Amino acid sequence: MRAGPAVDDRGELAPLRSGERKLLETLVRHHPMRMTRAQLGTIAGFTASGGTFGNYFGTLKRRGFLVEGRDGVELTSEGLREGGGAPARPQTTEEILDTWRRALRAGERRMLDVLIDERPHRLTREELGARSGFESTGGTFGNYLGSLRRNGLADVDGNHVSVSEALFLGNDR
């Protein structure tokens, strides 16, 4: 049986912990966009498969601040209120890319930038590795490419990789 929301000694809901607040603020910043758990974790600075993320995520879900469906995670009206309301959404592709660049590790960022520079063309894994400074058969390359794929930033089709078109608004080319 799952525990309910944490309460203080007066029976009132306890304030959100800093990690819970960080997840909530990440969702508010990107509202009304739905995010996957992987995207939420990456942008907020957590590993989505980790226990800490799971605990924070569970608290927000139990308190009714977010819902998760097949198409991703989104804020409820209560979550939006608790998070202080919705700020302006990114208006340009560059703002979206800057959000991801801040969230990614240096190697992931390098790989993403190589893919962006090649858009709309695909690269082989070997070409991507060589241009970003990694051995394409190495574990680091595989981990970084996996992160880009999980976060919806790269499309992988067999041996070919391209940047995800979902990152680009309108006809940005």
Say yes or no: 57 and 100 in one domain: no
Say yes or no: 97 and 163 in one domain: yes
Structural domain contains residue 173: no
Measured distance CA(98)–CA(78) in Å, rounded: 28
8-state DSSP, 7: B
Residue 38 belongs to domain with CATH number = 1.10.10.10
8-state DSSP, 166: G
Structural domain contains residue 143: yes
Number of domains in the chain: 2
pLDDT in tens, 29-86: 887 778 899 999 999 999 999 999 999 999 999 999 999 998 889 899 999 999 888 7
Say yes or no: 65 and 97 in one domain: no
- The domain in which residue 133 lies consists of 93-167
Instruction: Identify the domain boundary among 33, 57, 82.
Output: 82
pLDDT in tens, 77-132: 999 999 888 766 666 888 889 989 999 999 999 999 999 999 999 999 999 999 99
